[in-house]
Structure 1
Amino acid sequence: MSRFPSLLAASALALTLAGCATSSMPGGVAAKDGVLVGPNGMTLYTFDRDPVGGGKSVCNGPCARNWPPLLAGTATPTGDFSTVQRDEGGAQLAYKGKPLYYWVKDTQPGERTGDGVNQVWRTAKP
């Protein structure tokens, strides 16, 4: 019986911490199975050629057709999230200074087929 209060306290703490982890992610971004996913459940990626904290994306035009940006919309970035400006206008969400993208060849939530493409694309990890 003396374990019950400890178990209850540990459970409450775990639920509190879990709520904190997800509430700091803007625009429906979530952590799932060790990677960041967009509001549609699709895996998000970063591009090695985007300079950390550079304030903009270098993936534009044909690149952005294959790697669509996660647009910020009305999301308010908090914590490790920020926005960068797109060449064609609009704001893109970034994580730890790196803009976030989808990969057009991922067709189902949970797919990660873009990881390692051309040795410059990486799954975004929380």
Structure 2
Amino acid sequence: MRRISHRFIPLLAGALLSWPLSGLAAEPAMEKDGMLVDAKGMTLYTYDKDSDGKSACVGQCAQNWPPLMAEAGAKAEGEWSVVTRDDGSSQWAYDGKPLYTFVMDKKAGDVTGDGKMGVWHVAKPEAY
């Protein structure tokens, strides 16, 4: 049996870490403190005027409430789905509800959009 020289271990470890992890999909958002947040920790919201897995937030609305965009080829899994926006782009949805951030939230954990106009709500997984 041959032993691996200690000088080759870092090379081997680097090679393994750079191995493509295709097939391992990360969820588009995560739960933190009972609410959904994006990869930057920014609060995600749902919009009461959305229906049937379709976003009703377009134009100026989408500028104030940026959609949680999905990359081309993103696939639904579990509670996560992808909805097609009017412009043909893709947006993530949780339990069929499209997700958005809010431009007035300046740092991770801000929830200034919760309850806005009576139609915007923090996305909470247990609520669906």
TM-score bracket, normalised by the shorter chain, equals: 0.7 to 0.9
Match of 1:71 in 2: 69
Number of aligned positions between the proteins:
101
- Cα distance, 1:44–1:25 mapped onto 2, change above 3 Å: farther
Match of 2:3 in 1: none
SS of 1:92's partner is strand
The C-alpha deviation readout for 1:41-70, integer Å capped at 9, x for no partner, is 10000000101xx13211000100000000
Gapped regions of structure 1 (runs ≥ 5): 1-22
- Cα distance, 1:114–1:105 mapped onto 2, change above 3 Å: same
Q: What stretches of structure 1 move > 4 A for 4+ residues in a row?
A: none
Aligned-residue CA RMSD (Å):
1.7
Counterpart amino acid of 1:26?
E
Gapped regions of structure 2 (runs ≥ 5): 1-23
Distance in 1 (alpha carbons) for counterparts of 2:122 and 2:25: 19
Give the structure with higher Rg (CA).
2
Identity of counterpart residues, as a percentage? Answer: 52
- Cα distance, 1:30–1:24 mapped onto 2, change above 3 Å: farther
Normalising by structure 2, report the TM-score.
Answer: 0.74
